[in-house]
Amino acid sequence: MPWFVKIEEGIVDKPLFDQYVPAHKAFVRGLIAKGHQAKSGYWGCYGGGMLLFQAASMDEAAAIVAQDPLVQNGCVHYKLYEWRVAVE
């Protein structure tokens, strides 16, 4: 299954962003349970982060990202890419 990455930048104040972090974590745990091999994290300097996961297609990946509470609540701007692994 192809890999996809959502690169995101936070666009709201941290207190508002932090309200949705628990729901985001639950969302990612749900992706893991469904076999999407998801990993989520943030940059050490704060202000943004990344979600790495597997999906069958770009359409499925876009549908998955649309369900992320950080996206649904307008907390981030993001770009979605298919990531093609060159070395394992």
pLDDT of residue 81: 98
**What is the pTM for the complete model shown?**
0.92
In the block, residue with structure tokens 């890419």? 81
Rounded CA-CA distance 41/39 in Å is 7
Handedness of CA 45, 24, 3, 6 (dihedral sign): negative
35-87, pLDDT tens digit by residue? 999 999 999 887 899 999 999 999 999 999 999 999 999 999 999 999 999 99
pLDDT band at 88, cuts 50/70/90? confident
Distances (CA, A) of 37 to 60, 65, 68, 75, 76: 14, 14, 15, 23, 22
Rounded CA-CA distance 35/43 in Å is 25
Rounded CA-CA distance 49/20 in Å is 14
